[in-house]
Amino acid sequence: MNSSFPASFHRPCRPPVGRRVRIVVLSGPVVCGLSRVSPVHSAQNVSASATVTINVTAPPAAQALSVTPQGGSVTAQFAGIPNYPYAVERATNVAFTLGTNTWFTNAPAGGVFQITDNFSDLGGPPGQAFYRLRYNP
């Protein structure tokens, strides 16, 4: 998310050298793309108003690398952005309404991770299985 703050302060907002000012938004409606926020207060109780621009971006990229059957189980390998949370979902139909199971994980430092599905929730391997990966903030 990108934001810009063209602000007009009611009085100068100059924190002492070496100190930070933390701005907290207390109220203000958000309209897609542009929001007028009022009031805004700093840690030193200085009031200000600001225009906030919100840019909506696509979720982080992730992809399936491989799905490998191994006896009565399947290992699915994925690549995601390191430290981002993901949910790996399995279903026995393409609509993801039957035979579902979900694994939650964060991508490790290298970004590549895998899950092993032994189908224990189904009592054994189904005739078919579909896997998908989604960002899970």
Which pTM does this prediction carry?
Answer: 0.57
Based on the fold, state whether residues 92 and 115 are members of the same structural domain: yes
pLDDT confidence tier of residue 84, bands split at 50, 70 and 90: very high
Whether the pLDDT of residue 118 is over 60: the answer is yes
Q: What are phi and psi of 48, to 5 degrees?
A: -160, 160
98 and 67 share a domain?
yes
Same domain, 86 and 125: yes
Instruction: Dig out the tokens for 9 from the structure.
Output: 């302060």
Residue 122 lies in a domain: yes
> Tell me: the pLDDT tens digits for 14-51?
444 444 444 444 444 444 444 444 454 555 666 666 66
Are residue 46 and residue 77 in the same domain, yes or no? no
Tell me what pLDDT residue 45 has.
62
What CA–CA distance (Å, rounded) separates 31 from 29? 6
* Cβ burial, residue 84 (10 Å; 0-12/13-18/19+): middle
Residue with tokens 């919100």: 54
> Which residue range is the domain that position 98 belongs to?
63-135
Peptide bond into 39 cis (omega under 30): yes
On whether residue 88 sits in a domain, the answer given is yes
Q: Note whether 77 and 34 are same-domain residues.
A: no
Structure tokens at 66: 């491989």
- Give me the CATH number covering residue 85: 2.60.40
In this structure, the answer to whether residues 20 and 43 fall within a common structural domain is yes
In the chain, the number of structural domains is 2
